[in-house]
Amino acid sequence: MAEIWDVVRKDLVDTLDATDIWFEPADTFSAAAALPQVAASGFVGGRVYRWVGTGFALPKEGVQLRVGCEGAPHGRVVLRGDARHAVDIDDRLFALTLMELLAIAIAQSPGESLADLAPMPAHPKAVND
């Protein structure tokens, strides 16, 4: 599963210009649960949207992407993007497809610990406006 996670992380960095990425198992309680979620349609919830020339940027505080189905999630991937980089709908939908791939890998590896997959960074990087 670690190999799949490495590919997913790399693709999220390349596609969404993500700066910090971590995985939280479903039973994790953290402030990340309050972040806007990227819905199955690619829509990003939230109240503030930032136009950066060619499209909207992800919220600077970050977003969460559910891993697994809504009724039985494996967890969520939390990421912070560059607030100066537009992320179009196709990129967000690709990121959701990566979450499906990760969910399959987790389901096929029931004995592996998800807690060690990619913990939250100790000192999250600040994103400049």
* pTM of structure: 0.84
Dihedral (CA of 98, 57, 63, 78) sign: positive
Position 28 scores a pLDDT of 85
The predicted-structure confidence for 17-29, as pLDDT tens digits, reads as follows 998 899 998 888 8
The predicted-structure confidence for 30-77, as pLDDT tens digits, reads as follows 888 899 999 999 999 887 888 998 889 998 889 999 999 888 788 999
What is the spatial distance between Cα 49 and Cα 87, in angstroms, rounded to a whole number?
A: 12
The predicted-structure confidence for 82-96, as pLDDT tens digits, reads as follows 888 999 999 999 999
Angle, CA 92 vertex, CA 86 and CA 93 arms, to 5°: 145
The answer on pLDDT for 126 being more than 90 is: no
Q: Where are the domains of the chain?
A: 2-107
Position 111 scores a pLDDT of 76
Position 120 scores a pLDDT of 59
What is the spatial distance between Cα 48 and Cα 8, in angstroms, rounded to a whole number?
A: 27
Position 127 scores a pLDDT of 43
Confidence category of residue 124, pLDDT binned at 50, 70, 90: very low
- Which tokens belong to 120? 């939250």
What is the spatial distance between Cα 28 and Cα 41, in angstroms, rounded to a whole number?
A: 25
